[in-house]
């Protein structure tokens, strides 16, 4: 029987403590699978005295996670502290440089430094595994890295942030505004006290940059992503989406286009019958389109201690079995520079909701501005609040107008709406939501 794989674990929060538990519970099964026991021997966190509901007495304690990363008593380093900077960055670099494989769930670190870390792992001939960094318990990294032929991917998109999907699902089901559901989500622990990282789309963007790199073999570039969050979504948008046969989801989308790779995060209308539209609450889902294959959708728990820990343990089991694949599916030197497709060139259908001033000629002006940009409408709904004795075009109140366009460009939509605003035929800012067809 080979020696057990000795693990040094830095970070004993939600995920770290669950890893301790899962390794304890799954000991026999893991041994049967990889032919080698996996044992934690040393741990590190900020506070040694914090109560953590797991027995840590049998592990050596390191006040400094970087010292743990290169300690000769461990065979593999697990980083579950989080953050793109130190100590996570230095600890992972130290472990790799001293020839120790690393398992991490840290999307922020990978999105920012993934390329360099992959090269360092390769130089030292050790694994860098990060299944838990995207989609929690969904095995999407392995699917992209090993399960499918990377050259054939055309598009990858998904619900990558449980908080946003929870908020949008509850707005729709409970008919409450964004702010009310957000407050409730914070009370229930589904949203952070400062929710902006999640609701403004940045968390999704970090995860998308990892998926795009794996799918298209490109260098990671989180700054190449267009990002828009969900805080402007109203019940009126969700109702209109429902009437028109859509649901609104915050999606991360990476697509191969003739102009390069388009990476974007934004609220998106998806057809109600699509697999991704069925995903409600904190659940995550990722759909992969590849040439010659029908779309594949993976759905599952995107966060939570045990779900995420299961991905960490699966990465450890690979290391125990001696499996080592290039971190991003190909040698780091062969990851190509990302040719970014500019967002203005994005082509697709659009939902546009605006408040037209209720006076003769407004509708004609709006139609003319759209036509000037060659935008054709698939549908248009104008909602008059017709009260007793009030004639359309005479109430003085703005009238909601909802339009769905045929495929057009981002640039054309922006130019048309800028002209409509200059014409002063609408009140406030128009709402624009992109449509993603399946």
- Site membership for ligand NAP, residue 50 (CB under 6 A): yes
Q: Do 42 and 59 meet the contact criterion of CB atoms below 8 Å apart?
A: yes
Could you tell me the maximum CA-CA distance found in the chain, to the nearest angstrom?
A: 89
Asked whether position 16 contacts ligand NAP by CB under 6 A, the answer is: yes
- Judge whether 207 counts as a catalytic residue: yes
Write down the catalytic residue from 89, 100, 207, 256: 207
What contacts 16, CB < 8 A, 6 or more positions away? Answer: 9, 10, 43, 45, 78, 80
| Least spacing, CB of residue 80 vs ligand NAP, in Å | 4
Q: Say whether residue 15 binds ligand NAP (CB under 6 A).
A: yes
Cβ contact 168:230 at 8 Å: yes
Which one of 23, 81, 96, 319 is in contact with ligand NAP (CB under 6 A)?
A: 81
Q: Closest approach of Cβ 93 to ligand NAP, in Å? A: 15
209 binds ligand NAP (CB under 6 A): no
The conformation of residue 334, written as its DSSP 8-state character, comes to G
Contact between 94 and ligand NAP by CB under 6 A: the answer reads no
248 in contact with ligand NAP (CB under 6 A): no
Smaller CB separation from ligand NAP, 46 or 183: 46
CB nearer to ligand NAP: pick between 46 and 175:
46
- The first and second tokens of residue 228, run together, are 């828009």
Q: Does 65 bind ligand NAP (CB under 6 A)?
A: yes
The residue within the footprint of ligand NAP, chosen from 13, 271, 295, 400 (CB under 6 A), is 13
Q: Which of residues 291-330 bind ligand NAP (CB under 6 A)?
A: 303-304, 308
Please, what sign has the CA dihedral across residues 212, 209, 140, 26? positive
Q: What are phi and psi of 348, to 5 degrees?
A: 175, -175
Q: Is the CB of residue 270 less than 8 Å from the CB of residue 251?
A: yes
CA proximity to 201, closest of 251, 155, 269: 251
Residue from 22, 105, 241, 254 binding ligand NAP (CB under 6 A): 105
Q: Which residue is nearest to ligand NAP (CB)?
A: 13
Write b or e for each residue in 21-49: b if 16 or more Cβ atoms lie within 10 A of its Cβ, otherwise e. Answer: ebbeebeeebbeebebbbbbbbbbbeeee
Question: In 14-156, which ranges are continuous DSSP H helix?
Answer: 14-25, 27-34, 65-69, 88-97, 107-123, 140-142
Among 19, 23, 43, 45, indicate the residue that binds ligand NAP (CB under 6 A). 45
Pairing assessment for the beta strands 296-301 and 283-290 based on DSSP bridges: antiparallel
C-alpha–C-alpha distance, residues 118 and 350, integer Å: 38
Identify any residues that bridge with 299 across adjacent strands, giving them in sequence order.
285
Identify which range of 105-113, 148-156, 221-229, 373-381 contacts ligand NAP by CB under 6 A.
105-113
Q: Which of 1, 32, 47, 55 is the binder for ligand NAP (CB under 6 A)?
A: 47
For ligand NAP, which is the closer residue by CB, 161 or 431?
Answer: 161
> Which one of residues 34, 70, 94, 106 is an interface residue with ligand NAP (CB under 6 A)?
106
Task: Kindly state whether residue 101 participates in binding ligand NAP, applying the rule CB under 6 A.
Answer: no
- Residue (89 or 247) nearer to ligand NAP, CB: 89
- Residue pair 250/109 in contact (Cβ under 8 Å)? The answer is no
Residue 117 interacts with ligand NAP (CB under 6 A)? no
Q: Minimum distance from CB of 162 to ligand NAP (Å)?
A: 8
286 near ligand NAP, judged by CB under 6 A: no
| CA–CA distances in Å: residue 252 to residues 208, 245, 249 | 6, 21, 10
Nearer to ligand NAP, 81 or 299 (CB): 81
Asked if 11 is part of the footprint of ligand NAP (rule: CB under 6 A), the reply reads yes
The binding site for ligand NAP (CB under 6 A) comprises 10-16, 44-47, 50, 65, 80-82, 87, 105-107, 132, 136, 303-304, 308
Q: Which residues are known to be catalytic? A: 207
């Amino acid at each position: 029987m080979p020696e057990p794989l000795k693990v040094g674990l830095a970070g004993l929060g939600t995920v770290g403590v669950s890893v301790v538990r899962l390794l304890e519970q799954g000991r026999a099964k893991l041994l049967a699978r990889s032919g080698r026991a996996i044992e934690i021997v040393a741990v590190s966190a900020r506070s040694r005295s914090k109560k953590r509901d797991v027995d840590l007495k049998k592990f050596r304690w390191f006040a400094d996670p970087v010292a743990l990363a290169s300690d000769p008593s461990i065979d593999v380093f697990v980083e579950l502290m989080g953050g793109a900077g130190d100590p996570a960055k230095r600890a992972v670099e130290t472990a790799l440089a001293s020839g120790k494989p690393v398992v991490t769930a840290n999307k922020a670190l990978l999105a920012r430094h993934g390329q360099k870390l992959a090269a360092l792992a390769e130089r030292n001939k050790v694994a860098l595994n990060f299944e838990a960094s995207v989609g929690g318990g969904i095995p999407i990294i392995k699917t992209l890295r090993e399960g499918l032929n990377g050259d054939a991917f055309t598009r990858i998109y998904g619900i990558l942030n449980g908080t946003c999907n929870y908020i949008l699902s509850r707005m729709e089901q409970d008919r409450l505004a964004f702010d009310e559901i957000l407050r409730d989500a914070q009370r229930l622990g589904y949203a952070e006290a400062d929710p902006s990282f999640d609701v403004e789309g940045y968390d999704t963007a970090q995860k998308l940059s990892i998926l795009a790199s794996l799918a298209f073999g490109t260098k990671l570039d989180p700054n190449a992503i267009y990002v828009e969050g969900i805080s402007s979504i109203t019940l009126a948008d969700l109702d209109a989406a429902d009437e028109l046969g859509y649901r609104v989801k915050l999606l991360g989308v990476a697509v191969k286009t003739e102009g390069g790779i388009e990476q974007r995060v934004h609220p998106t209308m998806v057809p109600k019958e699509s697999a991704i539209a069925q995903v409600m609450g904190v659940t995550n889902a990722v759909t992969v389109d590849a040439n010659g294959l029908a779309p594949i959708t993976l759905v599952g728990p995107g966060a939570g201690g045990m779900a995420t820990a299961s991905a960490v343990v699966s990465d450890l089991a690979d290391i125990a079995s001696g499996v080592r694949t290039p971190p991003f599916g190909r040698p780091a030197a062969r990851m190509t520079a990302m040719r970014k497709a500019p967002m203005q060139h994005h082509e697709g259908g659009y939902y546009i909701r605006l408040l037209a001033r209720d006076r003769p000629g407004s509708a004609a002006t709006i139609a003319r501005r759209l036509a000037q940009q060659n935008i054709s409408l698939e549908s248009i709904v104008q909602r008059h609040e017709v009260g007793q004795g009030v004639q359309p075009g005479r109430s003085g109140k703005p009238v909601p107008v909802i339009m769905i366009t045929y495929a057009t460009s981002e640039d054309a939509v922006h130019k048309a709406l800028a002209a409509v605003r200059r014409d002063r035929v609408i009140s406030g800012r128009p709402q624009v939501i992109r449509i993603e067809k399946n």
